[in-house]
Chain A
């Protein structure tokens, strides 16, 4: 069964600090992995997408890494800001072929950045 596990469930850090969120998956065959940011009361917004051949991708202060061999991904946030407080969701797409692809969602990591 395809699964996506995220850790930690929640995290509290001080403004200006860095943090790293983890995502482990068992989705097979693998197509791509996305990290989404979901602010409270809003829909998720895509931060990055990585395919099998990509090891790292950055979007401003967000840097995602992917190790397709160990089926692990991380999202590193640098110099955190109060506006980074949100839920971060890891989503993995399988490669079932054609239009019959499936998304597996993690439960998310709830990040709180305090002043």
Chain B
């Protein structure tokens, strides 16, 4: 185990639903990340939080809304998603933005 946990591991939702993904790390890291991994495509960085402040937002649609209430927790709130948003969503953390990232197991999201 990497020390980064994600829940749920699998999620199926309709386009009108609202759901949230949760990520938790107790490694004492200061940076946390959300990635999207689609089949046959490179990992796509979505959001970066450093010391609980969002420092990067890579042109992600507003239907994805991140929240970082403290240095150990990161959420990704989902609403009115599209079928093309179906993917594996990975959370990662690192000591600081230049350090090795530790990934969680991911949430497999399916949007119907």
- A and B form one complex: yes
Taking CB atoms, residues of chain B closer than 8 Å to A34 are 100
**Interface status of B90 (Cβ within 8 A of chain A):** yes
How many chain B residues have a CB neighbour from A under 8 Å?
23
Q: Do B43 and A101 touch (CB < 8 A)?
A: no
Interface of B is mostly: loop
Given contacts A41-B106, A41-B108, A99-B55, A46 and B42 within 8 Å (CB-CB): no
The reply on A49 being an interface residue by CB < 8 A is yes
Is B98 interfacial (CB 8 A cutoff)? yes
Instruction: Mark out the residues of chain A between 84 and 115 whose CB falls within 8 Å of any chain B CB in the assembled complex.
Output: 89, 93, 99, 101, 103-108
Determine if A43 and B108 form an interchain contact, defined as CB atoms under 8 angstroms apart. no
Bound: A49/B100 CA distance, A: 9
Residues of A close to B98: CB separation below 8 A: 31, 93, 99, 101
Chain A proximity mask over B38-55: 1 for CB below 8 Å, otherwise 0? 001111010000100001
Chain A contacts to B: CB under 8 angstroms: 4, 31, 34, 41-46, 49, 89, 93, 99, 101, 103-108
- Given A43-B92, A89-B42, A104-B42, 10 other A-B contacts at CB below 8 A? A42-B106, A43-B2, A43-B103, A43-B105, A44-B43, A44-B103, A93-B98, A99-B96, A105-B43, A107-B40
